[in-house]
């Protein structure tokens, strides 16, 4: 089973939930798909066994074959190619803007001269390791690199279906989140009971409904703010899987990279319950289809 942990608003506790869930269960694979700002390793402190470069294919032009016809420029939907034709006996040239390239492969496939091949451009790194029995994989996007979805897809290629897979997703509601949660059997949305938390929860719920992924809500710092997140969940028939009150000790150990279950072992049962809750809801969703 693949469980992703997401939220519209950042800083609500996605990584906390993901890490503590992983530490409370057996036979786990943990994927940190927040490749812009990966944090799970701070808490899990995995032993990294190998590192691989994450790459995307970008075009390279063989100018000995190129006739500067402009077909590649014409088909590139991302304006990542400019072609200067030959003029007054001066040689033409092709300019590639790799940071705009989505790696779709259209230019290479459609070049009439077969003058374009793809070369790998590094966009980040993937590290693979373990923490006791937990298998750990995370991606780290290079500084200045704009596009995280290709790296997220590459992290997800490591999914080990024989294990319970926990995916720590990035915040927001756009392409990085969708790439991270797509294909999950269940998604846990973490929020806080404030107007910002509610506003962004509503957006995240719309995303999951569009993706047709069953989901439930965890309310973190449940005793700050107001009761409107709970009201909303009741009205929309969204299960509240768990509530965690604000606790200064938990906040301090978080700040030092110590997971809740290591600070207070009684939380382990609460996270096992969260998992059982998820299994129940997932089976319910399956039997409805």
**Nearest-approach distance from CB 15 to another protein, in angstroms:** 7
Alpha-carbon distance values, 49 to 94, 130, 242 (Å): 41, 8, 34
Judged by CB under 8 A, which of 46, 94, 200, 213 binds another protein? 200
* Residue 226 binds to another protein (criterion: CB under 8 A): yes
* Residue 37 binds to another protein (criterion: CB under 8 A): yes
* Residue 103 binds to another protein (criterion: CB under 8 A): yes
- Contact in structure between 7 and 190 (CB atoms under 8 Å): yes
CA separation for the pair 3, 287 (Å, rounded): 18
Judged by CB under 8 A, which of 39, 93, 247, 268 binds another protein? 39
* Residue 206 binds to another protein (criterion: CB under 8 A): yes
User: Residue written as tokens 């319910």?
Assistant: 284
* Residue 173 binds to another protein (criterion: CB under 8 A): yes
CA separation for the pair 102, 57 (Å, rounded): 8
Q: Which two tokens stand for residue 213?
A: 């992924």
Alpha-carbon distance values, 16 to 97, 135, 214, 244 (Å): 38, 17, 21, 11
Pick the stretch among 126-134, 158-166, 176-184, 235-243 that binds another protein (CB under 8 A).
Answer: 176-184
Pick the stretch among 161-169, 234-242, 251-259, 271-279 that binds another protein (CB under 8 A).
Answer: 251-259
Q: Cβ closer to another protein: 87 or 161?
A: 161
Please enumerate in sequence order all residues whose Cβ is within 8 A of that of 152, keeping only pairs 6 or more positions apart, or say none: 33, 35, 139, 170, 176, 179, 180
Per DSSP, 201 falls in state H
* Residue 157 binds to another protein (criterion: CB under 8 A): no
Pick the stretch among 86-94, 125-133, 136-144, 277-285 that binds another protein (CB under 8 A).
Answer: 136-144
Pick the stretch among 85-93, 191-199, 266-274, 278-286 that binds another protein (CB under 8 A).
Answer: 191-199
Alpha-carbon distance values, 86 to 62, 83, 102, 116, 133 (Å): 16, 10, 27, 18, 61
Q: What is the binding site for another protein (CB under 8 A)?
A: 8-12, 15, 36-37, 39, 42, 75, 77-78, 102-106, 109-110, 141, 143-148, 170-178, 182, 194-196, 199-200, 203, 206-207, 210-211, 224-226, 248, 251-252, 254-257
């Amino acid at each position: 089973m693949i469980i992703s942990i997401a939220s519209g608003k950042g800083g609500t506790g996605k990584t906390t939930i993901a890490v503590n869930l992983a530490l409370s269960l057996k036979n786990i694979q943990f994927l940190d798909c927040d490749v812009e700002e990966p944090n799970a390793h701070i808490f899990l402190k995995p032993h990294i066994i190998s590192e691989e470069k994450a790459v995307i294919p970008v075009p390279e032009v063989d100018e000995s074959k190129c006739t500067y016809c402009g077909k590649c420029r014409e088909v590139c939907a991302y304006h990542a190619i400019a072609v200067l034709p030959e003029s007054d006996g001066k040689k033409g040239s092709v300019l590639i803007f790799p940071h705009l390239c989505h790696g779709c492969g259209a230019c290479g496939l459609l070049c009439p001269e077969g003058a374009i091949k793809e070369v790998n451009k590094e966009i980040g790194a993937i590290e693979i390791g373990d923490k006791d029995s937990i298998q750990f994989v995370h991606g780290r996007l290079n500084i200045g690199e704009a596009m995280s979805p290709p790296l997220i897809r590459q992290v997800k290629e490591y999914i080990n279906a024989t294990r319970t897979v926990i995916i720590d997703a990035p915040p927001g509601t756009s392409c990085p989140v969708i790439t991270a949660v797509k294909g999950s059997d269940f998604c846990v949305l973490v929020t806080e009971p404030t107007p910002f938390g509610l506003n962004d929860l509503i957006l995240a719920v719309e995303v999951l409904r569009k993706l047709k992924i069953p989901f439930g809500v965890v309310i973190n710092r449940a005793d700050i703010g107001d009761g409107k997140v709970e009201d909303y969940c009741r009205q929309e028939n969204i299960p509240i899987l768990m509530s965690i009150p604000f606790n200064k000790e938990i906040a301090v150990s978080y700040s030092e990279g110590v997971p809740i279950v290591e600070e207070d072992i009684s939380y382990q049962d609460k996270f096992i319950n969260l998992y059982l809750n998820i299994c129940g809801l997932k089976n319910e969703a399956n039997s409805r289809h």
